[in-house]
Structure 1
Amino acid sequence: MRFGKTTFFALLISSFLFHCGLIGSGSEHSSAKNGTLDLSKHSFEDGKIIPLDGEWEFYWEEFISPGDFSDPKFKSKKKFITVPSVWTDSFSKDLKSAGHGYATYRLKLKLRERKQSLALRIPDLGTSYILYANGKKVANVGTLGKSELETRAKYELKISLIPDSENLELVFHVSNFQNRWGGVWNSIQLGELENVLKNVQKQRDLEWALVLIAATMSFYNIFFYFFRRNESAHILFAFHCFLIMIRSLTNGDSRLAYEFLQGISWELPNRLEYISVYASGPTLYAFLYRYCKTDFWRRFGQYICIPYYLAVFVVLFFPNAYYTLTLLPIALYMPLVTMPIWFILLATGLKRKIEGGLILFAGYVVISLCTLNDIMLFLGLWKGIYLIQYGEVALILGYSVLISKIFSEAFRRSDTLGTKMKSLVFSTREIMQSSSYDKAADTALKMLHEKGKEQTVYVYLEEPNSSVWKRYSISSLGDLEIVEVYKYDVQDLLGLDPSSLTEPMIQNNRLIVSIQDDQPYKLIFDLPFEGYSDDSQVDWVRGIADALAFSVRNIARQDREKLAIIGELSAEIVHDLGHPIAMIRQNLKNIGSQKGKSKTNLLFQAEKEVDALTNLTLDILDFSKNRIILDLQNVDIKKYFKEIFEDLGTFFQSTKMKLVSKINAKGSIRLDPLRIRRLIFNLAKNAAEATDERGTFSIWIEKEENVVYLIFEDNGEGFSKDMEKYIFDSGFGSKKPYGTGLGLSIIRKIVSAHGGEILVSSEEGKGTRFTILLRS
Structure 2
Amino acid sequence: MRFGKTTFFALLISSFLSSCGLIGSGLEHSSAKNGILDLSKHSFEDGKIVPLDGEWEFYWEEFISSGDFSDPKFKSKRKFVTVPSVWSEGFSKDQNSSGHGYATYRLKIKLGERKQNLALKIPDLGTSYILYANGKKIASVGEIGKSKEDARAKYELKISLVSDSENLELVFHVSNFQNRWGGVWNSIQLGELENVLKNVQRRRDLEWALVLIAATMSFYNVFFYFFRRNESAHILFAFHCFLIMIRSLTNGDSRLAYEFLQGISWELPNRLEYISVYASGPTLYAFLYRYCKTDFWRRFGHYICIPYYIAVFIVLFFPNAYYTLTLLPIALYMPLVTMPIWLVLLAIGLKRRIEGGPILFAGYVVISLATLNDIMLFLGFWKGTYLIQYGEVALILGYSILISKIFSEAFQRSDTLGTKMKSLVFSTREIMQSSSYDKAADTALKILHESGKEQTVYVYLEEPNSSVWKRYSISSLGDLETVEVYKYDVQDLLGLDPSSLAEPMIQNNRLIVSVQDEQLYKLIFDLPFERYSDDSQVDWVRGIADALAFSVRNIARQDREKLAMIGELSAEIVHDLGHPIAMIRQNLKNIGSRKGKSKAGLLFQAEKEVDALTNLTLDILDFSKNRIILDLQNVDIKTYFKEIFEDLGTFFQSTKMKLIFKINAKGSIRLDPLRIRRLIFNLAKNAAEATDEKGIFSIRVEKEEDVTYLIFEDNGEGFSKDMEKYIFDSGFGSKKPYGTGLGLSIIRKIVSAHGGEILVSSEEGKGTRFTILLRS
TM class by shorter chain equals 0.7 to 0.9
- Listed as ranges, the gaps of 5+ residues in structure 2 are none
Deviation at 1:384, TM superposition (A): 0.7
2:532 matched residue in structure 1 = 532
Query: In the alignment, is the contact (CA less than 8 A) between 1:107 and 1:171 conserved in 2?
Result: yes
What SS is found at the alignment partner of 2:44? coil
- From the superposition, tell whether residues 749 and 398 of structure 1 become closer, same or farther in structure 2 (CA, over 3 Å): same
Which residue pairs with 1:404 in the alignment? 404
Check whether the contact 2:580–2:613 (CA below 8 A) recurs between aligned residues. Answer: yes
Partner of 1:500: 500
Cα distance change on mapping 1:370 and 1:649 into 2, 3 Å: closer
Aligned mates of 2:652, 2:641 — CA distance in 1 = 16
* Kept in 2: contact 1:2–1:378 (CA 8 A): no
SS at match of 1:45: helix
Q: Residue deviations 1:727-769, cap 9 Å, x none?
A: 5444445565644343343333223222234455678888766
Q: Percent identity?
A: 92
Q: CA deviation at 1:593?
A: 9.0
1:632/1:301 CA distance change after superposition, 3 Å: same
SS, match of residue 181 in structure 2: coil
Residue deviations 1:378-425 (CA, integer Å, cap 9, x gap): 111111111111111111222222233333334344444555555566
Per-residue CA deviations over 1:58-83 (Å, capped at 9, x if unaligned) read 44445554445555555555544333
Task: List per-residue Cα deviations over 1:190-224 (Å, max 9, x = no partner).
Answer: 32232222222222222222223323333333344
Quote the Cα distance in structure 1 between the aligned partners of 2:81 and 2:2.
21
CA contact (8 A) 2:21 2:386 kept: no
The separation in 2 between residues aligned to 1:7 and 1:214, in whole angstroms, is 35
Is the CA contact (8 Å cut-off) linking 1:665 and 1:701 kept in structure 2? yes
Which aligned pairs between 1:451-530 and structure 2 lie closer than 5 A?
none
Q: 1:142 Cα deviation (Å)?
A: 3.8
- How far apart are the structure 2 equivalents of 1:161 and 1:723? 102
Relative distance call for 1:144 and 1:396 in structure 2 (3 A) is same
> Which residue of the partner structure matches residue 69 of structure 1?
69
Distance change >3 Å, CA 204–CA 641, structure 1 → 2: closer
Structure 1 residues 105 and 15, CA, compared in 2 at 3 Å: closer, same or farther?
Answer: closer
Helix, strand or coil at the partner of 2:512: strand
- Report the more deviating stretch, 674-683 or 195-204: 674-683
Bigger drift between 86-95 and 69-78 goes to: 69-78
- Decide whether the 8 Å contact of 1:4 with 1:388 is kept in 2: no
Contact 1:2 1:374 in 2 (8 A): no
The offset of 1:458, in angstroms, is 8.4
- Cα distance change of structure 1 residues 501 and 466 upon mapping to structure 2, 3 Å threshold: same
For the aligned residues, what is the CA RMSD? 6.4
How far is the alpha carbon of 1:447 from its aligned partner?
A: 7.9
CA contact (8 A) 2:4 2:82 kept: no
CA contact (8 A) 1:468 1:486 kept: yes
Give the 3 Å change call, closer, same or farther, for CA 36–687 of structure 1 in structure 2: closer
Higher mean C-alpha deviation, range 599-608 or range 199-208: 599-608
Give 3-state SS (helix, strand or coil) of 2:66's partner.
coil
Structure 1 SS opposite 2:470:
strand
SS of residue in 1 equivalent to 2:598? helix
- 1:621 CA drift (Å): 1.4
Give the conservation status (yes or no) of the 8 Å contact 1:637–1:668: yes
Deviation at 1:522, TM superposition (A): 7.4
CA distance in 2, matches of 1:565, 1:168: 112
**3-state DSSP class of the match of 1:297?**
helix
2-side partners of 1:519 and 1:452: how far apart?
Answer: 37
Whole-Å Cα distance in 2 between the matches of residues 207 and 215 of structure 1? 12
Taking a change above 3 Å as real, the CA distance of residues 629 and 84 of structure 1, as seen in their structure-2 partners, is: same
The answer to whether the Cα contact below 8 Å between 2:581 and 2:609 also exists between their aligned partners in 1 is: yes
Question: Cα 1:181–1:636, aligned 2, differ >3 Å: closer, same or farther?
Answer: closer
User: CA 1:84–1:10 in structure 2 vs 1: closer, same or farther (change >3 Å)?
Assistant: closer
**Is residue 2:277 matched to residue 1:277?**
yes
Question: Contact (CA 8 Å) 1:42, 1:112: kept in 2 or not?
Answer: no
| Cα shift readout 1:543-582 (whole Å, capped 9, x = no counterpart) | 8787777666655554444333222211221222233334
Contact 2:14 2:86 in 1 (8 A): no
Shift of 1:252: 1.7
CA distance in 2, matches of 1:64, 1:713: 125
SS of the aligned residue for 2:159 comes to: strand
**Residue matched to 1:615:** 615
Q: 1:453 to 1:289 in 2, by over 3 A?
A: farther
Bigger CA drift: 462-471 or 252-261?
462-471
CA distance 1:69–1:544, shift in 2 (3 Å): same
CA contact (8 A) 2:460 2:472 kept: yes
Provide the secondary structure at the position in 1 that maps to 2:736.
coil
| Separation in structure 2 between the aligned mates of residue 16 and residue 472 of structure 1, nearest angstrom | 70
Q: Distance in 1 between matches of 2:211 and 2:110?
A: 40
Normalized against structure 1, the TM-score is what? Answer: 0.81
The CA deviation at 1:473 is 8.1
What is the CA distance between 1:282 and its match in structure 2? Answer: 1.6
2:680 corresponds to which residue? 680
The question of whether the paired residues in 2 share the 8 Å contact of 1:4 and 1:252 is answered with no
Change (3 A) 1:439 1:325: farther
Q: How far did 1:17 drift? A: 23
Q: Is the 8 A contact 1:460 1:525 kept in 2?
A: yes
2: CA distance between counterparts of 1:716 and 1:68?
Answer: 128
The answer to whether the 8 A contact 1:7-1:390 is kept is no
1:12 and 1:475 map into 2 onto residues whose CA distance is: 75
Instruction: Write the distance in 2 (CA, Å) between the matches of 1:530 and 1:316.
Output: 55
Answer yes or no: is the 8 Å Cα contact 2:23–2:187 preserved in 1: no
| Inter-partner Cα distance in structure 2 for 1:392 and 1:7 | 30
Cα deviation digits, residues 587-608 of structure 1 (max 9, x gap): 6667789999976666655554
Indicate how the Cα distance of structure 1 residues 390 and 601 shifts in structure 2: closer, same or farther if over 3 A, else same. same
SS in 1 for 2:309: helix
How far apart, CA to CA, are the structure 2 residues paired with 1:6 and 1:568? 101
Give the total of aligned pairs.
Answer: 776
| Cα distance per residue 1:111-135 (max 9 Å; x no partner) | 4432223333332333334444445
The Cα of 1:281 is off from its aligned counterpart by 1.5
Gaps of 5+ in 1: none
Kindly state the Cα deviation for residue 109 of structure 1 after the two structures are TM-superposed: 3.6
